[in-house]
Structure 1
Amino acid sequence: MFRTPLLGAQMLLVAFGATTLVPLLTGISPNLALLGAGVGTLIFQLCTKRQIPIYLGSSFAFIGPIILGAQQFGMPATLSGLMAAGVVFLIVSAIVRLRGVQVIERFLPPVVVGPVIMVIGLGLAPVAVNMALGKTGDGAAQLVPQNVALVLSLASLVTTIAISIFAKGMLKLMPIMCGVLVGYALALFYGVVDFSGVEAAAWLAMPEFVHPEFNWQAILFIAPIGLIVTIEHFGDILAISNVTGKNFVEKPGIHRSLMGDGLATMAAASFGGPPVVSYGEVTGAVSLLKTYNPVIMTWTACFAIALAFIGKTGALLLSIPVPVMGGIMCLLFGAIAAVGLKTLIDKQVDINEPRNLVIVSVTLVFGIGGMVLQWGDFSLQGVGLCGIVAILLNQVLPQAKHD
């Protein structure tokens, strides 16, 4: 009787660290992230006729754009960009339904996707290092003494690495949570944790909703990332299909799962949460536990929604010192960049070909160097600019002719 709810709670534990990491890094309320993940998962299940055992969580691909977008346009405008990324999912879903999966490969081949993913990871490397040193993300202020910050960040980083490499079973699926716990324990020892917010927070509280404000610049800045994340989505659906032995690409159909991710992202962004997409950690847990019942994910979503209304949940998460998060970010952002590099390697993209070299080089330099295209009050930069430039170069440059 209680087996399915208990498995649902365990799935939330697996995904909890990664789900709440994104809001902690971007300034979004952790309670809103939990609410968005829960509501998004239920929407996904509705779109896919509750056939796929997947839980939706905060997407790492949007960390950089959210941070930069909030600095340039403000969070309400950034949320409009996140909703537009959800619309991109819906557009891709419609195209896949009408034309088949092959049309995506034409516009988003590995030579486009790889460098854009690398930019997502490497673009925020200075932020990770500043936080690991106890500073604000922009390095303007020292929040924790540097000698203490280095101890905390390195402890978090080393723990996360050790768990991901050496741990066995369920523990191996929770490296981020373990890293945070070790860093937090050390922070308590050094006395750099501020509990005033936790004491002031109510046990039961309505999350502080933030509503989007329409902004064209923010939309063009963030929306193209939706195209890149759709590629990750294909990989996630193939992975869960292999684990369960069912072809979810065909039934209920990848167009349905894309629609689920898109509507879920739009719903989460509509009240201030980060974009939510299918989660690799949960797929690993499904594989390990051999639990293929999608109803388990319904319980996971319900537990996430319930936690969102406990005020002290978000306050406790916000009390985590900056260096603890910075240490984990040093690994996380590098890992995202490595995924982009792996995309180029796995698909055997020949960088010796001038065409491929141009696409990869221009995309990386524009993204990491901070290139900005500006017309009057309108500007385009960051991952949004990189994605558009990479797609245009791929379409314009002639294919190499081989004998």
Structure 2
Amino acid sequence: MERKIIQVEDKVPVNLLIPLSIQHMFAMFGASVLVPFMFGINPAIVLLMNGIGTLLFILITKGKAPAYLGSSFAFLSPGLLVASKFGFQYALGGFVVLGICGMIVALIIRQCGTNWIDIVLPTAAMGPVVALIGLELAGSAASTAGLLDEQIDMKNVIVFLVTLGVAVFGQILFRGFLSVIPILIAIIAGYAAAAACGILDFTAVKEAAFFALPNFQAPKFNPEAILTILPALLLVTSEHIGHQIVTSKIVGKDLLKDPGLHRSLFADFFSTTISGCLGSVPTTTYGENIGVMAMTKVYSVQVIGGAAVLSICCSFLGKLAALINTIPGPVIGGISFLLYGMIGTSGLRMLVDNQVDYSKSRNLALTSVVFIVGLSGIALNLGNVKLTGMVLACVVAMALSLIFYILDKLHLTNDL
């Protein structure tokens, strides 16, 4: 029997809303708190701003675009460089300026529309770009699980297999209420396996305060710091478009048109601007949460909003945040294996659903080049920003598609 779909606008009863919201919060938690740790700041401010940013996103997009905003990795390289040279507050200044520039880009898109996306990113290019959002993270999932260590710990393997196994078979076997929270059940099972294997560490929980206020900081501005961070605008914009397209395919609605790419992009960058003003890292739509939606067929923005409220609560509850942070890598890695794979499959599904004709040379060339560029590990350095993986593949796809479009207009192509 096919699982019931809970659509974007559907209301969810409280007894279902709470576990579904917890499931989404767990999905984003590991990656989201990793960024503040790398910057050397307290993750509480990040949890607070991620939650506030998500609620603002829901408000600005009129509750029509289900997306959780977590800590962005696109800013890590330039942000860490600025923080080490000038201090973290100057990195915050760069985040604020980039967010404002991103909002300006969103306003330009509002005037120009989104028809240009079909020209610069046709399905033969967008399908593999979306697939790469998940596929390029495969190594990260394996590393988080401890499967790429020089000496692999069998305890990690056991916890990983329990988590992944429950997630995979739960997807197939669970019925009724359990069928919509397989990720949460898998995390609980993995956590229990980790406890049985003796790899849990509760030291941080004992040392954490019950209640704690997030550490707020004000941004400082420096032209060099701003110019170092600003090129990351390309990364975040490309990532956002890819996420909105794959979410559109999952929920069965064209989110680029309603509520509109300009609204979702503006909301994304507005969240980044507010975060930078108050001392937090930039935010972005999260692939982990897209994977949860694809797996559970629960798309309700009410659930996403519930996860945001829980994130805000965790930012003030020191021991709770510390307890959630004890979830070991093999558990997060096991969940990520499935979630990232589902994002990759969504990209392939785009190619199938749109019946891309690979007897045409252009389609074959586009898909082939995009996949290889994205998975090859090659990088393009623009100042202090490195384009690699999905983002570089997206840039290459846009350039090739635009060239093909021009050649079509000049009647020089041979497969129209």
TM-score class, shorter: 0.7 to 0.9
* One-letter code aligned to 1:106: I
Cα distance, 1:156 vs structure 2: 0.8
Tell me the percent identity.
28
Cα distance, 1:158 vs structure 2: 0.8
The equivalent of 2:353 in structure 1 is 346
CA contact (8 A) 2:94 2:229 kept: yes
Cα distance, 1:53–1:172 mapped onto 2, change above 3 Å: farther
Cα distance, 1:197 vs structure 2: 0.8
- TM-score normalised per structure 2: 0.73
* One-letter code aligned to 1:332: L
CA contact (8 A) 1:173 1:284 kept: no
Cα distance, 1:401–1:95 mapped onto 2, change above 3 Å: farther
Residue 118 (structure 1) aligned to one of 118, 128, 131:
131
Cα distance, 1:19–1:82 mapped onto 2, change above 3 Å: farther
Cα distance, 1:263 vs structure 2: 1.5
- Where 1:348 maps in the other structure, the secondary structure is coil
Residue 227 (structure 1) aligned to one of 222, 229, 238:
238
CA contact (8 A) 2:237 2:265 kept: no
| In 1, Cα distance between equivalents of 2:295 and 2:342 | 20
1:2-401 equivalence runs, <5 A: 9=18, 12-23=21-32, 31-48=44-61, 51-52=62-63, 56-58=67-69, 65=74, 90-91=103-104, 93-133=106-146, 139=149, 146-207=153-214, 214=225, 216=227, 219-220=230-231, 223-233=234-244, 236=247, 255-268=262-275, 271-273=279-281, 275-277=283-285, 301-374=308-381, 380-397=387-404, 398-399=407-408, 400-401=413-414
* One-letter code aligned to 1:22: A
CA contact (8 A) 2:131 2:348 kept: yes
| In 2, Cα distance between equivalents of 1:100 and 1:127 | 35
Cα distance, 1:288–1:219 mapped onto 2, change above 3 Å: closer
| In 2, Cα distance between equivalents of 1:207 and 1:155 | 35
CA contact (8 A) 2:179 2:296 kept: no
How many aligned residue pairs are there?
384
* One-letter code aligned to 1:34: L
Cα distance, 1:146–1:387 mapped onto 2, change above 3 Å: same
* One-letter code aligned to 1:306: C
Point out the more displaced range, 161-170 or 296-305: 296-305
Which runs of 5 or more residues in structure 1 are unaligned?
none
| In 1, Cα distance between equivalents of 2:251 and 2:378 | 38
Cα distance, 1:87–1:369 mapped onto 2, change above 3 Å: farther
Cα deviation 1:242-265 (Å, max 9, x = unaligned): 6xxxx9887766543442233224
Which runs of 5 or more residues in structure 2 are unaligned?
1-11
Cα distance, 1:208 vs structure 2: 5.0
Cα distance, 1:122 vs structure 2: 2.7
| In 1, Cα distance between equivalents of 2:280 and 2:58 | 21
| In 2, Cα distance between equivalents of 1:342 and 1:365 | 19
- TM-score normalised per structure 1: 0.75
- Where 2:68 maps in the other structure, the secondary structure is strand
| In 2, Cα distance between equivalents of 1:69 and 1:360 | 30
| In 2, Cα distance between equivalents of 1:283 and 1:230 | 17
Cα distance, 1:161–1:148 mapped onto 2, change above 3 Å: same
Cα distance, 1:131–1:42 mapped onto 2, change above 3 Å: closer
CA contact (8 A) 1:198 1:312 kept: yes
Cα distance, 1:90–1:351 mapped onto 2, change above 3 Å: farther
